Structure 1
Amino acid sequence: MPQTSLNIPELTKQFQQDGYLILRGVLSQEKVQRLNNAIDEIIAQEPESLAYNIYNSVERHEEIASLIDEPTLLPLMVQLLGYNIQLHISHLTIRKPNPNDEKTATQSFINWHQDGPHPQFPKQNGITSTYYIKTCYILSDMSQPNRGNTKIIPGSHNKPFHPETQDVRGMVEGEVQVCGEPGDVFIFPQNLWHAGAPNHSDYTRRQLFLGYSPIWMRPIDYRTASEKLLQNASPYRKQLLGVIDENPFKYYVPSETMVPLKELNRQNTGESVYE
């Protein structure tokens, strides 16, 4: 694909205001195909279902694991969250056509919510802070609404807000369906109100979420990274998998040598270029 510039300061400003970003054509079509081939292999090992929610998906295939330290997005994530970060979650979601809105064990659609634990993260003046951010790789044709798209309320991360209905099948004032082509990436924080809409189309939704959080938080997917993931891992990837020091205090106050992503923080002075 042609070289595209990523204006990190401008995107940071937009993210803080709107609570989401859509980046077009981040992944090449060759990479999209390899990821979909990997997903085919994974799904072949699962029971037949209308919907799949597969957590810790980086453990399931090296093609997915290659996105942990995806260089197109790392400088932006460092700008948004700081350099002391880790991989928090890797969540593969598949929603087959479901015209009758059948609920399945793996949730074929998900009502309006903010991500987080139960009970939820604390609020100040009705507002939840940003604790982690997800990158969503769109791997199927989501260019039109009503294909199981993610619904969002832009700006809902920055103000006291609660949708008038929890049911994603209804309409909420100000809602937007995120549309994109295979290879596009959608980025949003856990405190943005969002939902997974039913799929009433003839298309299967495939989206892969990799989330990042401060390294002092417990990851959702794992306690410690597996040897398989750490084998031949780059310094960036080792940090993102939580390997910085045996002393847990260092997760809060790391030495500079423990957080190699700090060098990306220094580089975020203007534009980052990806191909």
Structure 2
Amino acid sequence: MSELTMTAVERRHLLSAEQMARFVTEGFLLLDAFVPQQLNERVYEDQVQGGHGHTFWNRSEAVREVFELPEVQGIIQSLVGSRPVYDHSFLHIVPDHYPVAQDWHGDSIIDVRPHAFDIQLFYFSHDAPPEMGPTLILPGSHLRKINTFSLARYKNIVGQRQLAGKAGTLAILHHGIWHCAQPNATDRTRYVFKLRLRPGQEQRGLFNLDGYDSPEVRRIIEQGYQRWQGNEDRLDHMQRAKLWRYVTGDDSVDVSFEGALTRMGI
């Protein structure tokens, strides 16, 4: 197993307070065409020439370079710190005209941490349009813990979002988000590389905190309701507020429903 090389990054490469608020609220960030095309082409060549599964991380220098870009390192450090732990990686390969969809599920359900989280980074070296079947996710689902494939009986859920994008697209997911891969209806093979990282330190105050309690940032969290949440949407609001306290490192900031955290003396 090869570790991820981390270097100090400039403040401008850290996630902004608004970006972190969206991650806390929706459980993911999607950066379209984020990785330079020249590097995408090198990774794609490695993928076509036989990289697969757990071995690709060690076999492809190019894919490791993707995660050593200052912009990517800034995202990683904002979420899991400067000493993240390499958990695992995998190159998923879906052949052309593959008709099978993956069932809805969540990863690593046995997790007793109240607020800490792993991240999973999905990287596409090539264009991944909707018809190619990139992963479906359900925004806001990361704070409702479920038991692996207990969601498998569902097919479509209102508000679901597909991680489609151009070559170089990078999706950063909270490990608890509900997701499922889709059929590939094109005549091209779909490659997606997944890297999972665990935090090597407490995840408090790691991003650019400028304006973390501004009206704009508060609005993102306070209005982050999803239609699928139904009658429990205010409970999800409370979970967002607790996670926001954790990632900001400020145990007095309160973006909960009607200031419930403060009223309850929490």
TM-score range with shorter-chain normalisation?
A: 0.5 to 0.7
Change (3 A) 1:5 1:78: closer
Q: Equivalent residue for 1:11?
A: 19
The alpha-carbon deviation at position 130 of structure 1 amounts to 4.7
1:8–1:88 Cα change, 3 Å: farther
Please show how residues 54-73 of structure 1 align to structure 2 within 5 Å.
54-73=53-72
Q: Tell me, which stretches of 5 or more residues in structure 1 are unaligned?
A: 44-52, 102-108, 216-251, 254-263, 271-275
2:158 paired with 1:159: no
Contact 2:15 2:75 in 1 (8 A): no
Equivalent residue for 1:214, pick from 191, 199, 202: 199
Give the letter aligned to residue 93 of structure 1: H
**What pairs with 1:122-161 in structure 2 (closer than 5 Å)?**
122=112, 129-143=115-129, 145-159=130-144
* Residue correspondences, number: 198
Question: What is the aligned partner in structure 1 of residue 230 from structure 2?
Answer: none
Q: Give a deviation string over 1:29-66, Cα, whole Å, max 9, x none.
A: 111101111112224xxxxxxxxx61142211211222
What residue in structure 1 maps to residue 260 of structure 2?
Answer: none
TM-score norm. by structure 1 comes to 0.62
Q: Could you tell me which residue of structure 1 aligns to residue 43 of structure 2?
A: 35
CA distance 1:67–1:86, change in 2 (3 Å): farther
**Sequence identity of aligned pairs in percent?**
23
On the 8 A contact 1:152/1:176 being kept in 2, the answer is yes
| Separation of aligned partners in 2, 1:214 and 1:5 | 18
The CA distance in 2 between the partners of 1:198 and 1:167, in whole Å, is 17
Query: Could you tell me whether the CA contact under 8 Å between 2:138 and 2:161 is conserved in 1?
Result: yes
How many Å separate the matches in 2 of 1:81 and 1:174?
27
Given that 1:141 and 1:203 are in contact with CA atoms closer than 8 Å, whether structure 2 keeps it comes out as no
The residue number in structure 2 matching 1:95 is: 94
Q: 2:93 aligns to what SS in structure 1?
A: strand
The 3 A distance-change label for structure 1 pair 161 and 184 is same
Task: State the partner residue of 1:190.
Answer: 175
Rounded Cα–Cα distance in structure 1 between residues aligned with 2:104 and 2:169: 23
Cα distance in 2, alignment partners of residues 81 and 206 from structure 1: 25
- Corresponding residue SS for 1:113: coil
Distance 1:5 1:24 in 2: 16
**Higher relative contact order (CA closer than 8 Å, sequence separation 6+):** 1
Moved more, 187-196 or 70-79: 70-79
> In structure 2, how many angstroms separate the alpha carbons of the residues matched to 1:86 and 1:5?
20
**C-alpha displacement of 1:192:** 0.4
Correspondences of 1:223-234 after superposition (within 5 Å): none
Cα distance between partner residues in 1 of 2:136 and 2:194:
15
Contact kept? 1:96, 1:205, Cα under 8 Å:
yes
1:191–1:164 distance in 2 versus 1, CA, 3 Å: closer
User: What SS does the corresponding residue of 1:32 show, helix, strand or coil?
Assistant: helix
Q: Tell me the equivalent position of 2:75.
A: 76
Contact kept in structure 2, 1:56 and 1:89, CA below 8 Å:
no
Which one of 168, 174, 188 corresponds to residue 203 of structure 1?
Answer: 188
- Distance in 1 (CA, whole Å) between partners of 2:67 and 2:85 is 9
> Which residue of 1 is the match for residue 264 of structure 2?
none
Q: CA RMSD in A?
A: 3.3
Equivalent residues of 1:98, 1:199 under 8 A apart: yes
Alignment correspondent of 1:220: none
Q: CA deviation at 1:100?
A: 4.0
For 2:66, what is the secondary structure of its paired residue?
coil
For residues 176 and 116 of structure 2, the distance between their equivalents in structure 1, rounded to whole angstroms, comes to: 6
Question: 2:235 maps to what in 1?
Answer: none
Cα 1:76/1:56, change in 2 over 3 Å? same
* Cα distance between partner residues in 1 of 2:153 and 2:124: 24
1:121 to 1:269, Cα distance in 2 relative to 1, 3 A: closer
- The structure with the largest helix share of the pair is 2
SS at match of 2:90: strand
